[in-house]
Structure 1
Amino acid sequence: MSSTQTSYKKTTRKLMVVQTLSWAVEIIDDDENWDENVESLVIFQSFEMAITALEVLHHLHMYAEIFNMEFAQKCANECGKIIESEFVDDDLKRVAARFLTAVPACLLPLCPKIPESESSKAKMNYENYEMKFVAAVLKYLSKKLEDTDPVEIRLLTSFFVVLILLCTKHKQVRRFCRSKLIPSNNSISTLDKDLRYKIIKLILTSKNFCAKQAAEFLFILCKRSITRLIKDTGVKHVAELLPDNKDIYRKREGDSEDSEDENRKPKKEESSRKKIQVKPEKTVSKLAPKLPKTEETKVKKLPKSEIVPEMVRKYSAKM
């Protein structure tokens, strides 16, 4: 078999995988197809094909040193649609999130910057960035943390890993998640108390890998400060769940402990500068005539011969 035929077969297989994923999403999003007939069997088979394809792709990209980024991005985009869809089976969403953990470089395009011309059409606009995917991940976690058996809670680990990877690299995603989970002066109205309580409960009741990833996720939102993490969660042993990795303690841009918000610290510095009153310097011309000294301003100077007797007299008077 020639090299041309081999490359053609590989390209064909890749296109079949992407087409299978996108076709499954299109069928799943169509409510009218959810009938107990032949189409239901087709949908079920598309689920199975998509799950198998994503499992294979996850293993290929997880252990590969070099892979086609364009193809990986197409798969990541389809996985984003799978997680955002409300009609997808949980197993397919779980495998989709697992695949995304293998391609961290493909996560940022899932939360793109919104052009000004399309800002009104955005479904989840946060600081001119589309947060539909992140909101879907948080919504899924809120749902599954409540009704998932404690034994199977580990299946949610991939979703926390995806959030960790996104929050580490994407400032707006980090701020969006912080407004949802970390109470502060400017995020009371947007705070998701139910999800916050469920994540803290997971950290309190479990010590598995999923709980460790949840703790690291909140640690990033608390600006990589253990003090803030304990204060915001109320869990004293939360530091024990953090990995022994020095890199996670390294401060990123905007991770100041003194400010609640990443953009608030420069404003404080500006306000403090305004409060400081700078005294104007006295400018005296060298050509100005010197004023004569008055008797009050004159200082009486003793001659050197009288300095010592004067000191002795003052000291003897005290005796």
Structure 2
Amino acid sequence: MDLNNILSQLEADNEEEIEKLLQQYNRENSHTFTFDQKEENLRSKLCQSLLTVLGRQVQPSCQKACLETLRILSRDKRVLGPVATREGMLVLAGLARLQGGEEGGDNQNHLQEDTQTAEEERVVVEALKCLCNVVFNSVAAQQVGADVELARGLCARLHAARAGHHEVGLFSLRLLFLLSALRPDVRGGLRRELHAVRLLTEVLEHTLDVRWVGPYEAAPQDPQSLPIPAEDNERAMEALKALFNLTLSDAGDEDGDHQLRLIAAIMRHLLMLKTETEEKTEEAHSHAVNLLSNLPVSCLDVLIDVPVQGGQEEYSGKNMDSVQVLLDFMEKRIDKQGSNYKEGLTPVLSLMTEGSRHHREIRRYIKAQVLPPLKDVKIRPEIGTTIRNKLVRLMTHVDMGVKQSAAEFLFVLCKESVDNLLKYTGYGNAAGLLVARGLLAGGRGETQYSDDEDSDTEEYKSAKPFINPITGHVEEPLPNPIEEMTEEQKEYEAQKLVNMFDKLSRQNLIRPMGVRKDGTLAPLDETLCQPPEDSSGSDSD
């Protein structure tokens, strides 16, 4: 469409014609919008004109069309100058019904959400979408958003909205996530002044339909309500992302150990839930893993300190259901073809490493699954389909972070004993970790572990003397290559070897060495020139 025509109509102040033109523009560009540099100035002017229209008293249908156009234009960070101003951001905040600072509080667009019509709700949603795009693409808009206290308005909305419009809640959470990710000062204010950690925890409780049946034991309100509905899952994911930002640093002073343990309990609850698709379930578990990684490791006991169904006496009666989910999640991430191991796998490896290092029951359970007692030692440890084989293969991965995470995980499962690690992985696979830790000569790490040890199987004990420590398995004896040679063939091969050494020697690539009388090595020509010992003296005497 001709942007000049749209601009002229916006200036003409004909709502019906404006709405008609913008709807056509939106249909043509909603999925195929391209950033033509020749029209950059026109698009920037269009942004300004749209804000001017939105600042007037126009019908919600016209507001919605203007905001949809502005959302499309806001994908291009080069034209956001007019929008990323105090005036532009306040117009959008007003349409989004965000009661932030003084300017936002006086805005006439702030109405009670329970009085909104369906069309007015769509305006709020579109305004929130625009704010998300603008904040994401403009540093100036991020600064203005902090200045006008958008985060305060978002927290007020989340406090009030329990059963509100799905998309209003979703994009409010998404905008809060963006502000907390891009502005450290906003993140600090959210934690200290607005108590957003507690607020987001309550949002998760409500969204995931949590019922507390113990101090740190969550259960669904209705056991038959699984899986999580798609809309609830979407909002929960946005809340988890925002909560991840707010727990990146120590939150103990503001929120206390109790609040963090509540989060750990909700994450355990989430790990035990499923969504409508396997892909969405994996995404939910990924966010749960990331958030658990931010919590103090002492809080991880919440994952296992819940009543055991059926009993697991070998692990002191601790409930390992959530730990098994983490193991299954880790193996899925390893098996996922073409996945980014650094982003997808290392968080869960790090979480289980720290959990195993500080919680004996977790370590013992994981070791039983990952490193069961060795029986078959005829196959190299990196070959096969067991979880141990997969992790050993990762110990030589090209990505240094992935390699270190996998090696550290196995090392902790072995109670940081070099001998135990070599037993399960072989020296060749473990060398990188041992060099990094300064443990090539053997020994243990600094962490103290309990004295319980898994006894070796009879199969391993009988094969142990024949295991190659480098490869970690019993190698089949290689045939002697000269056994079936004739004498002529042996002489021919020997002559070839002599010729090779002679060639290397002439090119000064090697120097034949001999032994001096004092037992030291020296070039062969020097040792040959030494006079023989004179033994005639004893005869003359």
Change (3 A) 1:236 1:95: same
Shift in Å, 1:132: 0.8
Paired residue for 2:272? 84
Equivalent of residue 44 in structure 1, options 216, 226, 230 = 230
TM-score by length of 1: 0.62
Equivalent pairs, count: 240
Change (3 A) 1:234 1:243: closer
Paired residue for 1:71? 259
Deviates more, 1:146-155 or 1:10-19: 10-19
What amino acid sits opposite 1:84 in the alignment? M
Paired residue for 1:159? 348
Partner deviation per Cα, 1:255-276 (whole Å, 9 max, x = no partner): 58xx435xxxxxxxxxxxxxxx
Change (3 A) 1:16 1:127: closer
TM-score by length of 2: 0.38
Output the CA distance in 2 between the equivalents of 1:237 and 1:51: 38
Change (3 A) 1:8 1:200: closer
What amino acid sits opposite 1:142 in the alignment? E
Output the CA distance in 2 between the equivalents of 1:121 and 1:71: 30
1:83–1:136: 8 Å Cα contact kept in structure 2? yes
Output the CA distance in 2 between the equivalents of 1:204 and 1:47: 37
What amino acid sits opposite 2:454 in the alignment? E
Which ranges in structure 1 are unaligned for 5 or more consecutive residues?
A: 35-42, 187-191, 262-319
Paired residue for 1:142? 331
Paired residue for 1:231? 423
Paired residue for 2:405? 213
Paired residue for 2:379? none
Equivalent of residue 260 in structure 1, options 430, 454, 459 = 454
Q: Does 1:111 align with 2:304?
A: yes
Paired residue for 2:446? 250
1:167–1:173: 8 Å Cα contact kept in structure 2? yes
1:226–1:239: 8 Å Cα contact kept in structure 2? no
SS of residue matched to 1:129: coil
Output the CA distance in 1 between the equivalents of 2:354 and 2:389: 22
Output the CA distance in 1 between the equivalents of 2:436 and 2:351: 20
Shift in Å, 1:136: 1.0
Paired residue for 2:475? none
Deviates more, 1:207-216 or 1:15-24: 15-24
Output the CA distance in 2 between the equivalents of 1:235 and 1:84: 38
Paired residue for 1:196? 388
What amino acid sits opposite 1:204 in the alignment? T
Which ranges in structure 2 are unaligned for 5 or more consecutive residues?
A: 1-100, 102-155, 157-189, 211-218, 376-383, 439-443, 456-541
2:264–2:302: 8 Å Cα contact kept in structure 1? no
2:226–2:274: 8 Å Cα contact kept in structure 1? no
Change (3 A) 1:205 1:29: farther
Paired residue for 1:268? none
What amino acid sits opposite 1:22 in the alignment? L
1:76–1:106: 8 Å Cα contact kept in structure 2? yes
The Cα RMSD (Å) is: 3.9
Output the CA distance in 2 between the equivalents of 1:63 and 1:202: 30
1:21–1:78: 8 Å Cα contact kept in structure 2? no
What amino acid sits opposite 2:261 in the alignment? Q
Q: Does 1:130 align with 2:319?
A: yes
Q: In percent, how many aligned pairs have the same letter?
A: 19
Shift in Å, 1:44: 2.8
What amino acid sits opposite 1:137 in the alignment? L
* Bigger radius of gyration among the two: 2
